[in-house]
């Protein structure tokens, strides 16, 4: 398994090592959910990506480059879906942390205040995830100099549209159904209040 930074260069692609124990997000997200989500779903996307790139021009390329090269191309839809999901999941695990939530500091806090304040942003993030029809993701991104909250369906990722992801919340059912059944809104609120990793978002903002 690899760190998030190593995903840019690891070939064959490696499963991100969780930055915390499987039970560290409990009781918001149970160890059972993390084990299934990371060890089964996330791993399957990584494994399928490696299978699909073997013997092709994509072999040896970083996940982000594969995602950008295959986005919007029907002939590469399967590879895009798996590579993007491998990237998205690696980003999602780092978007969470035990005893997270609270309030950001520094430049990120200043940008959030300039965009309407933390409570308004948290509400937008929860609403984006709750209203995403079917499977997908809720994101905090930068669009030029502006902070935005967006949602994407299925495996879609904002950087294919020119936005820079700062953090994400997975709203595929496998992310929450064991713990919350159909109560996606409750999962989103709990994650935002107790697990969001504002430090990770700040790091991404500093590189944007």
Residue 145 lies in domain:
106-207
Confidence of residue 108 (pLDDT cuts 50, 70, 90): very high
Q: What is the pLDDT of residue 11?
A: 55
Q: What is the pLDDT of residue 144?
A: 87
Domain containing residue 202: CATH number: 3.55.40.20
Q: Within this chain, do residues 122 and 41 fall inside the same structural domain, yes or no?
A: no
Q: Within this chain, do residues 197 and 110 fall inside the same structural domain, yes or no?
A: yes
Residue 163 has pLDDT above 70, yes or no: yes
63 found inside a domain: yes
Confidence of residue 207 (pLDDT cuts 50, 70, 90): confident
Report yes or no: 186 and 142 within 8 Å, Cβ to Cβ.
Answer: no
52 found inside a domain: yes
Q: Within this chain, do residues 35 and 86 fall inside the same structural domain, yes or no?
A: yes
The string of pLDDT tens digits covering residues 14-47 is 998 999 999 999 999 999 999 999 999 999 999 9
Distance CA 71, CA 77 (A): 8
Q: What is the pLDDT of residue 123?
A: 98
For residue 2, CA distances in Å to 9, 18, 49, 137, 204 come to 10, 9, 15, 23, 19
Report yes or no: 205 and 67 within 8 Å, Cβ to Cβ.
Answer: no
Domain containing residue 44: CATH number: 1.10.287.990
Report the number of distinct structural domains present in the chain.
2
The 3-state DSSP class for residue 153 equals strand
Tokens standing for 90? 């690696």
């Amino acid at each position: 398994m690899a760190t998030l930074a190593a995903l840019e260069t690891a070939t064959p692609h490696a499963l991100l090592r969780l930055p915390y124990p499987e039970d560290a997000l409990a009781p918001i997200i149970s160890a059972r959910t993390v084990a299934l989500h990371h060890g089964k779903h996330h791993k399957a996307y990584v494994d399928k990506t490696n299978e699909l790139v073997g013997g092709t021009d994509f072999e040896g390329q970083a996940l982000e480059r594969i995602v950008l090269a295959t986005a919007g191309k029907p002939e590469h839809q399967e590879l895009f879906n798996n590579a993007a999901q491998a990237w998205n999941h690696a980003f999602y695990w780092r978007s969470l942390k035990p005893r997270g939530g609270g309030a950001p500091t520094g430049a990120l806090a200043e940008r959030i205040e300039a965009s309407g304040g933390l409570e308004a942003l948290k509400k937008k993030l929860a609403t984006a995830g709750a209203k995403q029809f079917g499977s997908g993701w809720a994101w905090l991104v930068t669009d030029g100099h502006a902070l935005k909250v967006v949602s994407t369906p299925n495996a879609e990722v904002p950087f294919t549209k020119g936005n820079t992801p700062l953090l994400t919340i997975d709203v595929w059912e496998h992310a929450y159904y064991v713990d919350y059944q159909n109560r996606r809104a409750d999962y989103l609120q709990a994650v935002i209040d107790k697990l969001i990793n504002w430090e990770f978002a700040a790091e991404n903002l500093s590189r944007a």
